[in-house]
Amino acid sequence: MVPSRGSRTKNRGFIIPIGGAVRKRKNPVILEKFVELCGGNKAVIPVIAAATKVKEVGGEYVQLFTNMGAKKVPFVDIQTRSDCRKDEILSQFKDATGIFMTGGNQLRLSTILGGTPVAQLIRKMNADGLHFAGTSAGAAIIPEHMISGGRSGSTPTPGSVSLSPGLGLTNSMVIDQHFRQRNRLGRLLSAVAYNPFLIGIGIDEDTAIFIDHKQTFEVSGSGAVTVVDPSDIQHSSMSTARRGDAVNLVDVKLHILADGATYNLQSKEAIVTDSPEKQ
């Protein structure tokens, strides 16, 4: 699955994966930046909480975005695949300038949304300029290849990561979330070893990347983003290692990027400008 082609006259909308546990009230920089990007007091931001059965999760974001000045924040109540075909559900995306997808269980999210008219509409609208943000499970589902589960730990092993089809807004990366907090380096390295044409992106909690139409992203938030670049891998033992064995990966490039740093997914270049020391 590749991103929708969209209109030649419009830039693709921003894609904003958030690592989970985003600040909602005290200094909610990421969410405020998203609302402003979507048009501020003209923003129309449907909220999808299909990753969880707890409807209050969606309601919380509806209230937050409303308090931040968004013009309209409909809650899109999707619980089943059949919901994704209903006209009253699809109509809630009319005039949207952004879409927000909450956390929960990403496998629940992908099995409900995958291949439905709602998923197709999101892909087309993003290609035509709509901005998409997702936190935790809502971040994991963004790429074509989705990490749906796995084990904690820093060493890659066969079977330490499970992969499933994602939403397909990008096909150049694989995303993991709650990254440092849940010690997920090993499963991200495993995902990249299985798919060495992808860039691995591990996003800490209360941290996001804002990916623009030129395939450059900027880090925002209180944590860091781990970038695993497999472009120059000289050797991988993933195909011969037994389940549970440590995997050899030679010449993997790794970056740790904090707030304000940028990365180009095409040139594989990281740019960091350190702030002057506080006096």
**What is the pTM assigned to this prediction?**
0.96
Residue that is written with structure tokens 């090993």 in the block = 186
* Cα 92 to Cα 94: distance, rounded to the nearest angstrom: 5
Asked whether 249 and 239 are in contact (CB, 8 A), the reply is no
Calculate mean pLDDT across residues 227-256: 96
User: 15-259: what fold?
Assistant: Rossmann fold (3.40.50)
Q: Which residue of the set 4, 110, 136, 148 is catalytic?
A: 136
Non-local CB neighbours of 127 within 8 Å, separated by 6+ positions: 3, 4, 5, 6, 7, 12, 13
What is the pLDDT, as a whole number, of residue 279?
A: 41
When pLDDT is cut at 50, 70 and 90, the band that residue 108 belongs to is very high
Residue that is written with structure tokens 């695949």 in the block = 81
Calculate mean pLDDT across residues 265-270: 97
Is 205 in the active site? yes
What is the pLDDT, as a whole number, of residue 277?
A: 57
Asked whether 218 and 164 are in contact (CB, 8 A), the reply is no
In the chain, domain spans = 15-259
When pLDDT is cut at 50, 70 and 90, the band that residue 8 belongs to is low
Asked whether 263 and 272 are in contact (CB, 8 A), the reply is no
What is the pLDDT, as a whole number, of residue 5?
A: 75
Q: Which residue of the set 190, 205, 218, 236 is catalytic?
A: 205
Is 136 in the active site? yes
Torsion of CA 187, 190, 191, 193, to 10 degrees: 160
Structure tokens, 4: 């929708």
Q: Which residue of the set 178, 190, 218, 236 is catalytic?
A: 178
Calculate mean pLDDT across residues 63-72: 98
